[in-house]
Amino acid sequence: MRDHPADHPTVHPADHSAGAADTAPERTGRTVHLAVYDTMADWETGHATSTLAGHGFRVLSVGPGEEPVTTMGGLRVLPDLPLDRLDPADSALLILPGAGAWMAGDSLAPFAEAAREFVAAGVPVAAICGATVGLARAGLLDDRAHTSGAAEMLTFTGYAGGAHYREADAVTDRGVITAGPTDPEPFAREILARLDVLEPEVLEARFRLYAHSDASAYPILAAAEAAR
């Protein structure tokens, strides 16, 4: 883990303002797209997607094609749609998990290009672990605050954003969320905050419970669930 506390990620307030570049669920519907591909790291996105699905969002998987993919954990996943049918106008968010393939060749470059299209359309993108390497190669981190597993992971890409690297568990800047491989819960918190899924007090309680096993947070979550 990094030196500073996990419960203080670097978040840029402007990213939560109601500007033209922001995309709220009301504008795009309540559909989130999760990229799936061979060697995908199973554990990195479940905290986010399970909470989204439990709060009325439809989570659709997007594969390189229509064929099943095999995750790092050996699960076979049949994508809901192929990448060439993905349209930012139909989405509230694109999530890019890590995968060994991000570090080996450019087979996942089309997903990084899709991320560029999402950001250009004002739809946020969330990338964790190796997927941050894809964003760096695509130039999306050259002028944004960001993080990853380590600064060295991104330096070898030759990107121009080294000065904007932050030693943080998760970072949000102008529609792009990044996180390292050991931080699925901070990653989820940034996603849930970006889409206004939970009230701030409930979001913080959820983080305390799942990231730190803080039992005192449970009554807050239970009360919020009973009130739904």
Task: Give the Å distances, CA to CA, from 160 to 128, 141, 157.
Answer: 19, 8, 9
Instruction: Return d(Cα 99, Cα 108) in angstroms, integer.
Output: 9
Written as one letter, the residue type at 213 is S
Q: At what angle do helices 184-194 and 46-54 cross, to 10 degrees?
A: 40
What dihedral do alpha carbons 73, 74, 75, 78 form, nearest 10°?
Answer: 120
Confidence of residue 29 (pLDDT cuts 50, 70, 90): low
Instruction: Return d(Cα 30, Cα 195) in angstroms, integer.
Output: 9
Query: Residue 176, SS3?
Result: strand
For residue 52, is pLDDT > 60?
yes
Written as one letter, the residue type at 87 is D
- Per-residue pLDDT tens for 134-151? 999 999 999 999 999 999
Residues designated as active site: 129
pTM summary value: 0.88
For residue 210, is pLDDT > 90?
yes
- Per-residue pLDDT tens for 159-202? 999 999 999 999 999 999 999 999 999 999 999 999 999 999 99
Q: How many CB atoms lie within 10 A of CB 18?
A: 6
